[in-house]
A and B are shown apart, each in its own frame.
Chain A
Amino acid sequence: MSLRALPALLLRDLRLAVRHGGESLMPLFFLFAVLILVPLGVGPGPNLLATIAPGMIWVAALLASLLALENLFRPDFEDGTLEQWWLGHLPVTGLVMTRLLSHWLITGLPVILFAPLAAQMLYLPDQALGVLMLSLLIGTPILSLIGGLAAALTLGTNRGSVLLSILVFPLVVPVLIFATGAVAAAADGFSPRAHLGLLAALLVLALTLVPLAVTAALRLNIE
Chain B
Amino acid sequence: MSLLLEARDVTFRRQGDRVFKPLDVELAAGNAVVVLGPNGCGKTTLLRLLAGILQPAEGAISRHAATAFLGHASALKAELTCRENLEFLRAFHGTPGISASRALSRTGLTGLGLRPARALSAGQKRRLGLASLLVSPRPIWLLDEPYASLDDAGGELVDELLAEHLAEGGAVALSTHQRKPKLASPAGELWVQRAPLEEPA
Contact = CB atoms under 8 A, between A and B. Distances in A.
Contacts of A20: 79
B54 interface: yes
Contact of A79 (B51, B75, B93): B75
B88 A8 contact: yes
Given A2-B94, A5-B94, A87 B53 contact: yes
Given A81-B75, A89-B66, A8 B80 contact: no
A80 B73 CA distance: 5
B38 interface: no
A5 B91 contact: yes
A221 to B, nearest CB: 12
Contacts, number: 80
Given A12-B88, A84-B69, A87-B67, A79 B78 contact: yes
A170 interface: no
Contacts of A79: 73-78
A6 to B, nearest CB: 9
Interface string A1-28: 0101101110110011001100000000
A20 B78 CA distance: 11
B79 A16 contact: yes
A5 B92 contact: yes
Contact of A80 (B52, B63, B75, B138): B75
Contacts of A83: 48, 53, 69, 71, 73, 75
Interface in A58-88: 78-81, 83-84, 86-88
A87 B52 contact: yes
B84 interface: yes
